[in-house]
Structure 1
Amino acid sequence: MGALRRIVLALLAATLLPVLVLRWIPPPTSAFMLAARVSAFLEDDRQFRLRYQWVPWEEISPAMKLAVIAAEDQRFGDHFGFDWNAMAQAWQHNQRGLRPRGASTLSQQTAKNLFLCRSRSYLRKAAEAYFTVLLEAFWPKRRILEIYLNIAQFGKGIYGVSEASRAYFRKPASQLLAREAALLAAVLPNPILLRVDQPSPYLLKRRLWILRQMRQLGGTAHLAGL
């Protein structure tokens, strides 16, 4: 039992320490970025270039913050990492054999993107839940959203709202307009197939839906509750 206890304590320390450090320090990379680099190396993709530049909360357009909440997790400010209602609705939807629908919150997505791989195993889902609890316990909501916006993928090799804003709109993230922020948020379910620079009719329709949701949430005043 002594050896088992030491192993458990070592695992707790190994997972808790980076969460505590990243509460104040910008992450230099993420698990998803590292995986992208490895994949490009193994495929000998010499055209691949990873773009990532941290930008603090104050230098991100309020419209961008609201857009991802409207698109991905409208109860973000109210839950502790898990939206049980959305999960139940997604399960019922998927049971009917319709197009699969996810219910991951921004907290879960941040935990997965930052620390884990893309596998769909039960072990990965358990690790995601564990890290989600840690993030909610030790980070304020603003920090979770700040890191999510900085590590989310917006295109091939493009990570974070700063690089996405410069790549697609040639402006800093602080100057993003609502329609631009909504378009960036619209690609988040699949930033490889859904392209900001070549928006499909589906993507443009999704942008309009996000803009409506942003208004229904009360505009950027909604962020005051975070």
Structure 2
Amino acid sequence: MTAAREERLQLDAASVDNARTTLLQLLARAGVYSGDAEELIGLVEAGALAVAHEELSGTGRQAPPGSGEPYAAGWREGSRAVTEGLAGLADRALGKAVAADAEGEPDPRTRVGRMEVERAKVAVVPLYLTFSEESDLDPEVTEQVLASALATMGARQRAAYPGRLTSFAADHRTHLERLYATYGPGSAIAIHGRYTLVHSPTSLAVLERLAAHPAELREEWDAAELPPAWLDGLTRAWDATV
């Protein structure tokens, strides 16, 4: 490796800290609260470590072709140590990003934060728009519904919720297409009463929670004083389009 190549690869701690501080200052100028910005940056950092761990856990453990068994065994042992170290770093970074409690609970149920709702909104809207061309629910109500869905999860689960929503939408695509075609925007069912929620991107999040933890969702729904008819209507629509 040439000296020029080595220089390009170097990124010291001071340079990383400079980039982080610069990003925080730019986000602050845009009106993003520093705590929210720190959380987002922390999740990106934890995610980068997790992706590196996943990649190295695959082909990274294989010794170069033609290696003898003693060399290959040493390679595997070294790779295992590196990947386990990355997994630990990723876990600690995620714990720091989501502010896990000091008692070390693996996935504490904490108050839903504003940035968690924003992340859920960013995740669910594009998914919903693959089934419908429009959304009719009030933005304030959207946040209340998403907060209720997120309240059924711990902080770490919320951090990974966009991936869970994506998997849910992929696994149930045919069913969801029938549901939104029959009850969603553009259908013969007007936005009113029990089927109001079907016209909102939040319906995807609510359906996923109904499938995973229905009792917890209904508990949070009642606590938020959201209309019971919305939840019942979405359940009826889901069952009617199986």
User: Does TM-score exceed 0.5, indicating one fold?
Assistant: no
Which one has the largest radius of gyration? 2
Higher relative contact order (CA 8 A, sep 6+): 1
Which protein has the bigger helix share? 2
TM value normalised by structure 2:
0.27
TM value normalised by structure 1:
0.28
